[in-house]
Amino acid sequence: MVVLPSRVLRNVNREEAFYFFTSIGNYTGESASSLEEFQQKIKDIDVRSLEFHLFREDFEKWIAQTLGDNRLPGEIEILRNQKITGNALRDRLYFMVSRRLKELKGTVTLR
C-alpha cells in the first residue's frame, strides 16, 4: 500500500475523528481529527483511555483505515503485545506517533 503523507496528515471530518473513551460508552469529551491532534491528546488524556483503546486495537484501525498509514499500526501492535500500561504506555505511544509525524513531514529520513 502506498502511503501518501498528505493523506495521513490531513484533517478528517467529525464522523471520521477519533473519539477517546475510557470504557464501553464512556466518552471523555476528547477527540482527534488528525494525527497531529492525536499526538497532542495522547499527552494529557486519561491513561485508562489509552489502555482501553490499545486493548481493542482501535488506534491501529483508525490510523490504518481512516488516515491510511501502514507503518504506525504495526508499531502500535508491538506495543500492545508487550502489554505496556500506565504512563509508560503514554510515553511510548507519544514517542512513536511523534517519530512517525516527523517522517511524514519529511524532517526524518524514511527507513
Residues that bind another protein (CB under 8 A): 14-15, 17, 19, 21, 24-29, 31
Q: CA of 44: how far to CAs of 8, 23, 58, 62, 97, in Å?
A: 22, 17, 18, 19, 14
**Would you say 14 or 111 has its CB closer to another protein?**
14
CB of 44 to another protein, least distance (A): 15
The residue among 45 and 101 lying less far from another protein, judged by its C-beta, is 45
Q: How far is the CB of 17 from another protein (least distance, A)?
A: 7
Question: With respect to another protein, which residue has the nearer C-beta, 21 or 94?
Answer: 21
Query: What's the min distance (Å) between Cβ of 10 and another protein?
Result: 17
Q: Least Å distance between CB 33 and another protein?
A: 10
3-state secondary structure of 12: coil
15 CB-near residues (< 8 Å, 6+ apart): none
User: HSE on the CB side for 19, CA within 13 Å?
Assistant: 12
Closest CA to 63 of 16, 102, 26, 15: 16
The smaller minimum CB distance to another protein, of residues 27 and 95, is found at: 27
